Amino acid sequence: MDVRRLGGRIAAALRALAAGGSLMPIPSWVANGLAMISLVLSSCDLLRLCSDRDRRLLFPLRCREFVTVFCQLASILYLFGLCGTGIASANSETHACRDQGGSPDQTRAAADAPEALHDGVEDGDEEIVAAVVSGALPSHHLESRLGDCHRAARLRREALRRMTGRGVEGLPLDGMDYQAILGQCCEMPVGYVQIPVGVAGPLLLDGEQYHIPMATTEGCLVASVNRGCRAIAASGGAVSSLFRDAMSRAPVVKLPSIKRAAELKEFAEALTNFETLAAVFNRSSRFGKLQGINCALAGRNVYIRFTCSTGDAMGMNMVSKGVENVLGYLQTDFPDMDIISLSGNYCSDKKPAAVNWIEGCGKSVACEATVKGGVVQSVLKTTVQKLVELNIVKNLVGSAVAGALGGFNAHASNIVTALFIATGQDPAQNVESSQCLTMMEAVNDGCDLHISVTMPSIEVGTIGGGTCLTSQAACLNLLGVKGPNLDSPGENAKLLATIVAGSVLAGELSLMAALASGQLVKSHMKYNRSSKDVQGAAS
């Protein structure tokens, strides 16, 4: 064993003491100070012994001389080990940043992050897991420290098992591209959840056929939508109309007085200022275009609701950047304006709100179809009159009795959520996206059924978020809306919104028919109960 390695071992042992590895933890600065003091005192004593003719340094060493020589050698080895460790750390830091295409300055800027760990004899998986369990290495640093996202997820799973005493063996690990989700979809992954994807259709919508991918664990849902698609196709198809495309974000700001708050409202809503504010807003993206500004007052607080088009992206981040630009500009004329929050819930995102039901958010779509009376009887197993009456009593009056907010439908959220998960949308935005008004009436002298759904707040995109994942991208590709539309930006997201509305139309038609004919329980017993479950329950 060479001197450098011996010094490193001694330094590591003292650092372990300083880190609390013994019963009497010693701070590193105390250990370093003791080593320096020991070096100075032992050096002085050795010099005095060597210069004292009456007390020469003789072998074998007496007790005092032995202690002096031992302290001298130990201090030198300890300090030499510290220098070697520092040089090694600097070299590894330099090599690491060069391998990653960065500079040493950039690496030192992240000095608060833990030391880089790697596979090897001394720093293998066991040491990394132990560091995560002890808290020495934060779990969210694994990807950046290891440079291997799959390995990071694997070690995080093991650390989780040790910390909780419960494993996640049934949660799949392999088969997911963890590099694809890094910094985009999910932090600190330990696996992924399997959700079966069924395909309903074809849905005949606006003269085109679409096969609808639906990710769901509810039996009978895909079959129900499929039956609705069959009834619509047999009657000539459905027609959709997208009548609004505007994502919203509403910050809240506070002024010193109600008068100043009213002045800000007047300034922001003035048509003469719109072009200037739009130019400031539109700087954030070539696809984000400001469409309108509407303000609401609550005392000294002003809620400024911005709406803008966002191309093929769902666009929440896009509109948020534009809002920040405008707020910075407004502070020039209103320096006394205090920005409380970028979102003041007047947007309103991921919450049921009347403002979205009335003003809309994202894509506003209406979809209709006229289902022939013969199809109602042969495919849906009911009559036009029963469906019309049920829609009034259930979807309209029943929802009103319940005090529903945008919930004047049978189960729009079922279809929206299944499509959102399959195509990589934000599932939480099904709250506002599922707001739907279902209407039914008898037409053509009462022989046929006219059905429509009006959905004012469908928030979807074909780029960004979960749309980059392989499975979700495949479902978008099945619908013909994968990625951005290069010829006409924004058209893919608009088409996806109309497909969502058309699918909801099919789902509403089929479920209402099942209720009108009294077949709901029977169909769920057929499609939502396996023989395995029955046998298991019997045993």
The DSSP result for 255-311, as a single string, is -SSHHHHHHHHHHHH-HHHHHHHHHHHGGG-SS-EEEEEEEEEETTEEEEEEEEE-T
What does the angle CA 372 – CA 373 – CA 375 come to, to the nearest 5 degrees? 65
Strand (E) or helix (H) holding 248? strand 239-249
From 143, 245, 426, 432, the catalytic residue: 426
524 catalytic? Reply is: yes
372 catalytic? Reply is: no
Query: CB 428: neighbour CB atoms within 10 A?
Result: 14
From 350, 381, 386, 394, the catalytic residue: 350
Asked if 184 and 480 touch (Cβ cutoff 8 Å), the reply is no
Nearest to 511 by CA among 387, 407, 372, 408: 387
Residue with tokens 């469409």: 291
From 127, 148, 218, 368, the catalytic residue: 218
3-state secondary structure of 28: helix
265 catalytic? Reply is: no
My answer on whether omega of the bond before 202 falls inside 30° of 0, hence cis, is yes
Strand (E) or helix (H) holding 454? strand 448-458
From 118, 254, 381, 524, the catalytic residue: 524
Phi and psi based region of residue 103 (left: phi greater than 0; alpha: psi -120 to 50; beta: remaining): beta
What the block records as the tokens of 421 is 């998960």
What span, in angstroms and rounded, lies between the C-alpha atoms of 230 and 394? 24
What span, in angstroms and rounded, lies between the C-alpha atoms of 130 and 43? 41
What span, in angstroms and rounded, lies between the C-alpha atoms of 231 and 332? 59
Burial class from Cβ neighbours inside 10 Å (0-12, 13-18, 19+) for residue 340 reads: middle
218 catalytic? Reply is: yes
What span, in angstroms and rounded, lies between the C-alpha atoms of 539 and 533? 10
Give CB contacts under 8 A, 24+ apart, made by 64-73. Answer: 68/42, 69/42, 71/38, 71/39, 71/41, 71/42, 72/38, 72/39, 72/42, 72/43, 72/46
What are the residue numbers of the active site?
A: 218, 350, 426, 524
